[in-house]
Amino acid sequence: MKRKLSVMLLFFVMIVVLLAGCGQGTNNSASGNTSDTSQKKQKVILITMDSIDQHWVSVDKGAKKAADELGNIEYKWMAPDKKDDAQQIERVNNAIADGAKAIIIAANGPDAITASLDEAKNEGIKIIYVDSPANTEASAIFSTDNLAAGKTAGEQLIESLQAAGINEGKIGIVNFNSSTDTAIKREKGFRDAFEGTKYELLQTQYGEGDASKSQDIADNYITEGVVGIYGTNEGSTVGVGNAIKGSGKKIIGIGFDKSDAILSLIKDGSLVAVMGQNPDVMGYEGMKAAAQAIAGEEIKEKNVDTGVSVINKDSVK
């Protein structure tokens, strides 16, 4: 009888130990799940105007650098193959379906994309603007002060014309479209610089940021006898520079951005200067802000001027 009680007691102890082990295993599993959740990467998607311009490649590089430093970001660049509202809207819808927690976007137009961005915000997705905003509120904006930069471009062109002894004449403007925030401000700032001068600013022509189309427009301006031409973005500026180079005439060209093609045109004198933006800073700071917004942290600076510098032959090595 005594032996029977001992066996039963031993059996009972074994059951208790086994149950304790199971309970501990369950607790470990739960804590493991908590750890996995806390370490889960947050998806952030960059949507630019296109995938062609070196400007957007630099924005992507800046965003990727910040994502790598943060370590808890799953990053993806979704870019249309050309500047097109419908394609950009499609990318926003894809980002929503893909489970993005934040979208960093350079809006092709201020209105066309707004409804899609509002839908994203309704899904709890944070919006960060780089380069160009849309007409809906975002957590932060990182862009060039385009009005001021456009005015600087105009002042640089006037200075170069006067240095060449040209105090009047026709000026052509090659813009990329009539609706994008950056395009509007760069043109307005440029036109502001010519107030009170004897130069005649011709009607703006639009090349959709395509270098070939912009070159055709610039060729037509040259036929009209312009003394200077202004390009408002990378593709426009490349087109302007190539047209001036091909003409062999002493026309002053000025523009925006700093791609390899543009720097080459400055070196050979086809362009006098360009307004060099900092797209890598836009991408880098935009990603940092996206991470803050996802985490519910306060973003102290919500509208940041990422700066611009005048690049001319003296500053190109």
Per-domain boundaries in the chain: 42-143+279-306, 146-277
**pLDDT tens digits for range 287-312:** 999 999 999 999 999 999 999 999 99
Cβ count near 28 (within 10 Å): 10
Indicate whether 4 pLDDT > 60: no
Q: Which residue has the higher pLDDT, 32 or 164?
A: 164
The pLDDT of residue 54 is 95
pTM comes to 0.84
Cβ count near 96 (within 10 Å): 18
Average pLDDT over residues 140-166: 97
Q: Which residue has the higher pLDDT, 34 or 235?
A: 235
Report the CATH number of the 146-277 domain.
3.40.50.2300
CATH 3.30.420.40 corresponds to the domain 42-143+279-306: no
Query: Distance (Å, rounded) from C-alpha 260 to C-alpha 317?
Result: 12
The pLDDT of residue 26 is 36
Indicate whether 269 pLDDT > 70: yes
What tokens does 244 get? Answer: 């001036």
Question: Do the domains spanning 42-143+279-306 and 146-277 agree at the CATH topology level?
Answer: yes
The pLDDT of residue 39 is 64
What tokens does 33 get? Answer: 């799940």
**pLDDT tens digits for range 18-65:** 444 444 443 333 333 333 334 689 999 999 999 989 999 999 999 999
Indicate whether 317 pLDDT > 80: no
- Report the amino acid identity of residue 90: E
Q: Which residue has the higher pLDDT, 32 or 142?
A: 142
